[in-house]
């Protein structure tokens, strides 16, 4: 299974782990492009081999496919590597696209998109997230090897939530206060939140910055004066009574932190790249709030449309939205239910792909 980064790994993970469960005789090789994926998952016990995918050229592609001799290749969402895909196709190795999603401004749909279409033609089956992607693929001649399966991330976040794993020390920090959990925040998000945090000392805030290098963490701590690092709590340092902000200074905890929230804020929406994973918050039945840049993300749009999420254009609107969700019980309950229903109504992508693998005997016990 190839993943561009950590987000794509989390997307493919439920499928990979179901394959491992159903077909224990197979070894699993997991490749990444980005350090943010490899560095976090290099010791992942669900795979027998975790590595960076070597540079995309004819020699590397031939050597890697020779060495691995895979029975099945899974390509998660996007990031298309010409020589690897064509080498896999040349050898008739089954190749599946998992949770693929397309937009009309991509090169596949341009006059110069010939080489991109050739890469798509390497896939035996493309499992797509939505109708728009299906329509776009049909517009360039792909019909028989595409189908809507949905997004495997729904299955992943449900699996995490239903494990019901707690995070040490969090309840001690929260006490009896109501809580906002802000996840995957960038500086732009933190600036938008700052006044609301200062104006509400009666609330507790848990902030998990997207970047956890020492310099950025220290900058966040300077911004939020009444704050403490999670590592300080773990070390047994009892925070002063006026401390109401907990800064998470590690990776891998966020998906479990949202369960402690009354209201959630997901970062990225005030930056140019767009909002991060809103499903991690929504699965717990929490209202989700984020900035205005989310149009590229189907799940964020769906969550807004159903009422499970609200988007804010600036700090004043953000404060108004947060205040309403904390103070208006009916608005809170309505948004909470819509969030959870949205996630659970969209589960099942993993099962559809596994069914295809079984029906076509792509793997044999």
CA distance 321 to 287: 10
Looking at the DSSP bridge assignments, the partners of residue 31 are: 2, 51
Please report whether residue 155 resides in a domain: no
* 175 shares its domain with 134: no
Residues of the chain with pLDDT under 70: none
CA distance 208 to 248: 5
Please report whether residue 156 resides in a domain: no
Please report whether residue 216 resides in a domain: yes
* 142 shares its domain with 170: no
Residues 6+ away with beta carbon under 8 Å from 304: 294, 310, 311
Quote the domain boundaries for residue 139: 2-150+348-359
* 126 shares its domain with 24: yes
Amino acid 365: pLDDT = 79
CATH code of the domain covering residue 279: 3.40.50.2000
* pTM of the complete model: 0.88
Amino acid 156: pLDDT = 92
Amino acid 239: pLDDT = 86
Amino acid 252: pLDDT = 81
* 248 shares its domain with 321: yes
Please report whether residue 193 resides in a domain: yes
* 316 shares its domain with 191: yes
* 192 shares its domain with 338: yes
Please report whether residue 312 resides in a domain: yes
Q: What is the pLDDT of residues 352-365, one digit of tens each?
A: 999 999 999 999 97
Residue 278 and residue 288 in contact, taking contact as beta carbons nearer than 8 Å: yes
Amino acid 65: pLDDT = 98
């Amino acid at each position: 299974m190839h993943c561009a980064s950590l987000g794509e790994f989390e997307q493919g993970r439920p499928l990979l782990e179901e394959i491992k469960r159903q077909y224990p005789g197979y070894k699993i090789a997991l490749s990444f492009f980005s350090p943010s994926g490899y560095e976090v998952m290099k010791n992942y016990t669900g795979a027998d081999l975790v590595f960076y995918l070597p540079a995309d050229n004819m020699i590397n592609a031939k050597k890697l496919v020779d060495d691995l001799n895979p029975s099945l290749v899974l390509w998660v969402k996007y990031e298309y590597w010409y020589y690897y895909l064509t080498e896999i196709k040349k050898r008739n190795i089954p190749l599946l696209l998992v949770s693929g999603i397309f937009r009309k401004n991509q090169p596949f749909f341009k006059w110069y998109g010939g080489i991109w279409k050739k890469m798509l033609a390497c896939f035996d089956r493309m499992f797509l997230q939505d109708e728009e992607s299906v329509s776009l693929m049909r517009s360039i001649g792909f019909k028989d090897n595409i189908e809507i399966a949905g997004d495997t991330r729904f299955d992943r976040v449900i699996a995490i939530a239903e494990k019901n794993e707690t995070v040490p020390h969090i309840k001690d920090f929260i006490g009896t206060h109501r809580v906002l959990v802000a996840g995957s925040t960038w500086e732009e998000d933190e600036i938008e939140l700052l006044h609301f945090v200062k104006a509400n000392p009666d609330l507790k805030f848990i902030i998990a910055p997207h970047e956890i290098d020492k310099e950025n963490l220290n900058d966040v701590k300077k911004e939020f004066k009444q704050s403490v690092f999670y590592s300080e709590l773990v070390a047994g340092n009892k925070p002063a009574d006026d401390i109401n902000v907990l800064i998470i200074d590690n990776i891998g905890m966020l998906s479990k932190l949202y369960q402690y929230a009354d209201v959630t804020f997901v970062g990225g929406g005030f930056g140019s790249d767009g909002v991060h994973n809103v499903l991690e918050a929504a699965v717990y039945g929490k209202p989700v709030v984020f900035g205005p840049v989310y149009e590229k993300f189907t799940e964020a749009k769906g969550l807004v449309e159903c009422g499970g999420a609200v988007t804010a254009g600036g700090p004043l609107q953000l404060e108004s939205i947060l205040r309403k969700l904390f103070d208006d019980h009916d608005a809170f309950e309505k948004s909470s239910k819509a969030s959870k229903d949205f996630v659970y109504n969209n589960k099942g992508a993993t099962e559809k792909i596994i069914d295809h693998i079984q029906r076509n005997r792509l793997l044999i016990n």
